[in-house]
Amino acid sequence: MKVNNKKKRVVVTGLGVVSSIGIGHASFWKNLIEGKSGISEITSFDTSGHVTHKAGEIKDFVAEEFIDQRKIKFMARGSQLTLAAAKLALKDAGTQKDYFSKRRVGFCLGTTLGELPALEVMDRAWIKEGPQAIDRRLAFQFSTIHMAACVSLECKFRGPVRVFTTACAAGNYAIGFGYDLIQYGEADAVLVGGADAFSWIPFTGFNQFRSVAPEKCQPFDKNRKGMMLGEGAGILVLEPLEVALSRDARIYAEILGYGLSCDAFHPTNTQAEGIYECMDEAIQETQIPADSVDYICAHGTGTRQNDKAEAAAINRLFGRRTKKVAVSSIKSMLGHTMGAASAIEAAACVLAVKHDIIPPTINFETPDPECDIDCVPNVARKHQVNVALNNGFAFGGNNACVVIKKFK
């Protein structure tokens, strides 16, 4: 769904983040710019049969702080993270009680795994004790739409509800669709973002790919050894500018638009051409000059192929100006949070634009000639950020980039 003649300005008025480096956007941002790592030894399951043993698990999340005890048993962890982030975002938006429940509020969520952990529990119960041992409530939790439905029902939203499963770019897809819902006048406000819980199946799969680093994630470093998995949720509140101004809302930043591409190059590997086309479309769609981009929040997984392809695409798009564009990967701190990745990274872009501080790429030790970019190594940088480009690239060549601008 794209609109050629956009008339409405869409702004961000609320942020909710649940991550391994902080719950709530203030804690998240503080630790992000301090370069804190959320990677730790895995405790949610036994990793003795795996090659690696670390990930970005959220150790201090207490669902009861956000969700009624009677409802928690009907929600798997992905839904819990999603609802917590949504409630944080709504509170941050500064609305009075029931403000959003009386309006057409949509909810767009991106996810890679959905409630895969619920399936894992069902599977183990079946194997150990037979089908009669399966808790029937888990069957309802397993549906991917359940993550979005929990939020929509709990918050009494009346607008469209959508779930995007375009893997690691899903959060950006959700942001783009929510942006369009406002442009088309189909919603008065939209909560957008992504969420995924950490689980055994993807951790095992990526270990089998030999794409998980043993100790730390080092995006764009010459000696990078792979990605780290993580979990989390990031939710943004989008509103038309006139609505935000009418209620005297705090405005963090403006969403200018987005770009999409699907190169279908390879089931898992990214391609520089597809990444370039996606970034270029985002810039063309929003009608801004490429020279106006100050910061790119990279997809930056820490794998050899992905980082090389993304760096090549950035060099092609910006040419001689490449080294003047700051590029950082916060996955170096969080790990790869799958469907939540580009949503949490969008929150980081919004805060970078708001505060004029660029988060670092930590664990950077040795420059790679094949990744000839300014990756803001190890230390955050105070720098004016008027325009940020948020990159999200996924399996199958599903790419999405969102353009975020300082509000004036």
Report the alpha-carbon distance of residue 205 to residue 107 in Å, rounded.
30
Report the alpha-carbon distance of residue 236 to residue 4 in Å, rounded.
24
Element (H, E) at 18: strand 10-19
Catalytic residue among 108, 150, 155, 168: 168
Report the alpha-carbon distance of residue 105 to residue 107 in Å, rounded.
7
Whether 336 is a known active-site residue: answer yes
Helices (H), ranges, 222-340 = 241-246, 272-286, 304-318, 331-334
Contact predicate 225/377, CB 8 Å: no
Whether 371 is a known active-site residue: answer no
Residues in the chain: 408
Report the alpha-carbon distance of residue 322 to residue 394 in Å, rounded.
23
Determine the 3-state secondary structure of 117 from DSSP. helix
The most distant pair of C-alpha atoms in the chain lies apart, rounded to whole Å, by: 64
* Cβ-based neighbour number of residue 406 at 10 Å: 18
Whether 355 is a known active-site residue: answer no
Determine the 3-state secondary structure of 88 from DSSP. helix
Catalytic residue among 146, 299, 349, 375: 299
* Cβ-based neighbour number of residue 264 at 10 Å: 11
Contact predicate 199/119, CB 8 Å: no
Catalytic residue among 336, 349, 371, 401: 336
Helices (H), ranges, 130-239 = 136-142, 145-155, 170-183, 200-208
Report the alpha-carbon distance of residue 205 to residue 222 in Å, rounded.
25
Report the alpha-carbon distance of residue 282 to residue 296 in Å, rounded.
12
Q: Which residues are catalytic?
A: 168, 299, 336
